[in-house]
Structure 1
Amino acid sequence: MQTSLLWFKQDLRLDDNPALQAGLKSECLLPLYVLDPRTLQVGPLGPRRQGVHRTRLLLESLTALDGALRQRGSRLLVVLGEPERVIVQLVERLGVQQVLTQAEIAPEELALQARVRAALGAVVLREFSGNGLLREAELPCPPEELPQVFTRFRELCEQRLLIFQPPPAPAALPPLPEAALDLLQPLPSLSQLGLGEPLNVAASAFPFSGGEAAALARLRDYLWNSQGVRQYKDTRDGLLGTEYSSKFSPWLANGSLSARRVMAELRRHEAQYGRNDSTQWLWVELLWRDFFRWTLVRHGSALFKAGGLKATARAPRHLDVRFERWCAGRTGMPFIDANMRELAATGFISNRGRQVVASYLVHDLQQDWRHGAAWFEEHLLDYDPASNWGNWAYLAGVGSDPRQNRVFNVLRQARQYDPDASYVSLWMPELHTVPVHLRHTPFLLPALQLEAMRYPRLEQMPETWRPYLPAA
């Protein structure tokens, strides 16, 4: 009688889950998630590796996963501890013959997987394709020969006809090992994990719940009900509300949603309603995500070093009080501060906002990009190692792209994407007494007025901002 342990990680779904499919052949199957307390501790660059927002989404996703498993005659065992210990103890206690799990690509996760494999000894650890879009066999060439530049990667991928047919969630699952029933326990709360409860923010651009059911509901809504996908290219640089972009990324990041399922549904939508620039652009964004994943597979830990993939000293290495002001949303530049406050309050900011605040930290404030990436790692709901560190390295000029400087003119960006200052007005209550036409440039006000508002004065205004200052 074969007993298998299914170790869930960033694949918190039953739909399109290769490790789960492999477990269906077992007589008994134990679905397990290990909450590793080390991920909630402070990392080498200062911030925690996982903060309150992503942990809240994780707990919601685990609750949803347990509910889906119960409907199919199973349950989810959640254990607080270190996987290399927890899994070995369960294997010995329950007589498990094999452990099934998702393959990893990031250095720390690979190291953890190796420790688990070593601790298991003779018990087999089987890995299955992970959370990406393209499997290795579907790539246009071996991973080590992939282009270093996204546009070339995209061209090669689009030369092939890719068909996505993800297997649906199974109707039933093998029963739990009998002895596992005594081990089941309720999920810990955020407070028990030492994180405290986040405030509910009505203005959040991601007010959705975690878990597979919520992810699939959003996929149906965006592609079929509202068909927001058909305007995606025009709205994706928005800053306010839930509909300017797909908002799939938090579910993709923890695996509540499969990228291959998104593509299968997108192709089905295009077959029914036709392809347009917007449906094509959603494919491009999913391809960017995969480009960063395969970049990480190829370069490994180099992506997390100061010199990035170019091993040069071009990126700034400084760290001073300006970094702390950036984190706190107190730089004196409202467009930056509004984005940083939204991130801290909700765990989410727009794609446009991410690029602008990252560029400002690296190029205007001359701070070490890795600390910005680590701050995002703690706070982002949709943190994913490949996309986060890949995007930061790209903006810092140490990624694989040939363009040296992705420098944004912050005031121009503010004027272009928040022309009526509605975004900064939402997140910067201290500016409500300032006339709307000055809300992007309060640093032009008298010092006493700024002091009365308790808003910091901008230390330095770049010359490039002058054309975008309000007319006298």
Structure 2
Amino acid sequence: MQKTKINNLIWFRNDLRTIDNSVLSEATKNGGSVIGLYCFDPREFTTDKFGFKKTAKFRTKFLIETIQDLIIQLSKLNIDLLVFNDLPEHVIPQICETYNITDIYLQEEWTQEEVDIENAVKSKTGQISWHSFYNQFLYHPEDINFDISKTPQVFTVFRKKLEKYIEIRNGVVAEALPISNRIENNTTIPALSDLGFEDFKTHVNSAFPFKGGETEAQNRLNEYFFETKKLGFYKKTRNGLVGVDYSSKFSPWLANGSISVRTIYWKIKQFEKEHYKNQSTYWLIFELIWRDYFKYVSMKHGNQIFKLEGILNKHYDWSNNQNLVSKWINGETQDDFVNANMIEINETGWMSNRGRQNVASYFAKELQLDWRIGAAYFESMLMDYDVHSNYGNWMYVAGVGNDPRDRKFNTKLQAERYDANGKFRRLWLQVSLF
């Protein structure tokens, strides 16, 4: 690489978009030149302590597609994205030296792994100015009306403190840079095989047949809101199990930041203005507030969200019986509704919200297995894995989180209610149920 003075480096992590990206917007403001960087961190593709691939093939392929699209979108702003299959603490100091980087821009993260990696990079980059921005919230942490350490224990209290009192910020725009900002970029995106996987085709029955990337996310939003107007029926269909349109399906793009939560919020408001406002349009906002809630819970409680006793410090007699874990994973339990959902995630990297609540409750409350094993399996398999929502939801269901009622799902009754005709179970179990 040539010795060029670039000034500003954007270290992309879970903010893989150009629309409403505060990090990108701030980096392009000060008149200097800008390059982007993304690392496929090898640690993300190793085996965790429970024996699962930390990131399995579904999210890996989705991520590759996302980075492919990000390169295209950034090029429209005359910004190049350097892509490496290496540790950030190896790559970033070298890039800083090569391009005489003075400033690094990145999304604010607070969970332990991200903080440790960031600190490792900082320890090797010397006199560089770091600029981090909260970039993944509906309600910005600087705007909320309580201290983060006082985040309510119950979601309803959290919601009522915010939704009628705190304004949602408008999206931000990044201006295109001069063509002279472009550099010679010989880096390449790793293939699935480089990351330890064989290529595969999306399952014909997948409820999430979409590709990764900002373009696909924006297309889905436009289709779900304005072309089909399915948003107007969201509250009635959101507990569905089969098909593409029972829910918005935004979560995989939200998880890696290829669409912003504010973009979705303001598009809902546009829909309400142009068409109509009803319980469904509100309910999607309600679900986005839940997403924010688990982020605030993780900010408040730190590493406690990863501990067996959870944020409630409750102690149960958990088991790690590997035979029971394997039966749950492989869809071989005594519960056909649980089995169908587990086969779905194994075949597609997707599971409905209704399914997730049931299989997690069965794992923690019926089988009484260490809930962190289930959470780690979801982390591995789900395309929409988000550290805050995943561990927040698993704690909630396991009775060590934010559920004041410590509920247990009756999976038989849930199947009768949400899969009364057995369509979902037949789809994945391929057996006669009645």
| CA distance in structure 2 between the partners assigned to 1:174 and 1:49 by the alignment | 39
* 1:281-300 superposed matches below 5 A: 281-300=283-302
| CA distance in structure 2 between the partners assigned to 1:101 and 1:121 by the alignment | 17
Query: Aligned residue for 1:426?
Result: 427
Query: Aligned residue for 2:136?
Result: 131
Q: Secondary structure at the match of 2:124?
A: helix
Query: Aligned residue for 1:86?
Result: 91
TM-score (normalizing by structure 1) = 0.88
Tell me by how many angstroms 1:186 deviates. Answer: 2.5
Deviation string 1:346-399 (CA, Å, 9 cap, x unpaired) is: 110100000000001111111110000000000000000000000000000000
Query: Aligned residue for 1:330?
Result: 332
| CA distance in structure 2 between the partners assigned to 1:74 and 1:255 by the alignment | 18
- The aligned amino acid for 1:198 is F
Tell me, yes or no, if structure 1 residue 223 matches structure 2 residue 225.
yes
Deviation string 1:99-135 (CA, Å, 9 cap, x unpaired) is: 1111102111112112222222211221111312111
8 A contact 2:9–2:37 mirrored in 1: yes
How many corresponding residue pairs? 429
Aligned residue among 6, 18, 24 for 1:20:
24
Tell me by how many angstroms 1:141 deviates. Answer: 1.1
| CA distance in structure 1 between the partners assigned to 2:319 and 2:226 by the alignment | 47
Tell me by how many angstroms 1:173 deviates. Answer: 6.0
Query: Aligned residue for 1:369?
Result: 371
Deviation string 1:78-107 (CA, Å, 9 cap, x unpaired) is: 011111121011101111111111110211
| CA distance in structure 2 between the partners assigned to 1:168 and 1:290 by the alignment | 22
Query: Aligned residue for 1:395?
Result: 397
Deviation string 1:271-301 (CA, Å, 9 cap, x unpaired) is: 2223211111101100000000000001010
- The aligned amino acid for 1:388 is N
| CA distance in structure 1 between the partners assigned to 2:178 and 2:116 by the alignment | 30
Tell me, yes or no, if structure 1 residue 150 matches structure 2 residue 164.
no
Q: Which runs of 5+ in 2 are unaligned?
A: none
| CA distance in structure 2 between the partners assigned to 1:206 and 1:154 by the alignment | 29
Tell me, yes or no, if structure 1 residue 30 matches structure 2 residue 35.
yes
Query: Aligned residue for 2:114?
Result: 109
- Greater alpha carbon shift after TM alignment, 248-257 vs 327-336: 327-336
Query: Aligned residue for 1:55?
Result: 60
Query: Aligned residue for 1:464?
Result: none
| CA distance in structure 2 between the partners assigned to 1:394 and 1:85 by the alignment | 38
8 A contact 1:201–1:345 mirrored in 2: yes
8 A contact 2:6–2:100 mirrored in 1: no
- The aligned amino acid for 1:421 is G
Q: Secondary structure at the match of 2:310?
A: coil
| CA distance in structure 2 between the partners assigned to 1:426 and 1:246 by the alignment | 21
Deviation string 1:225-265 (CA, Å, 9 cap, x unpaired) is: 11111111100000000100000000000000000111111
Q: 1:374 to 1:366 in 2, by over 3 A?
A: same
Tell me, yes or no, if structure 1 residue 76 matches structure 2 residue 77.
no
Aligned residue among 273, 276, 279 for 1:277:
279
Aligned residue among 202, 206, 209 for 1:207:
209
Deviation string 1:301-329 (CA, Å, 9 cap, x unpaired) is: 00000000011212624333011111111
- The aligned amino acid for 2:272 is E
Tell me by how many angstroms 1:164 deviates. Answer: 3.3
Query: Aligned residue for 2:7?
Result: 3
| CA distance in structure 2 between the partners assigned to 1:129 and 1:187 by the alignment | 27
| CA distance in structure 2 between the partners assigned to 1:319 and 1:266 by the alignment | 45
Tell me, yes or no, if structure 1 residue 39 matches structure 2 residue 44.
yes
8 A contact 1:32–1:76 mirrored in 2: yes
TM-score (normalizing by structure 2) = 0.95
Tell me by how many angstroms 1:137 deviates. Answer: 1.9
Aligned residue among 165, 168, 172 for 1:163:
168
| CA distance in structure 2 between the partners assigned to 1:157 and 1:175 by the alignment | 45
Q: 1:348 to 1:175 in 2, by over 3 A?
A: farther
8 A contact 1:16–1:167 mirrored in 2: yes
Q: 1:27 to 1:169 in 2, by over 3 A?
A: closer
8 A contact 1:77–1:185 mirrored in 2: yes
8 A contact 2:212–2:253 mirrored in 1: yes
Tell me by how many angstroms 1:2 deviates. Answer: 5.7
| CA distance in structure 2 between the partners assigned to 1:261 and 1:268 by the alignment | 10
Please identify the structure whose Cα radius of gyration is greater. Answer: 1
Deviation string 1:404-458 (CA, Å, 9 cap, x unpaired) is: 2x211111111111111111111112x1xx3x42xxxxxxxxxxxxxxxxxxxxx
Q: Secondary structure at the match of 2:55?
A: coil
Tell me by how many angstroms 1:269 deviates. Answer: 1.5
Query: Aligned residue for 1:384?
Result: 386
8 A contact 2:79–2:182 mirrored in 1: no
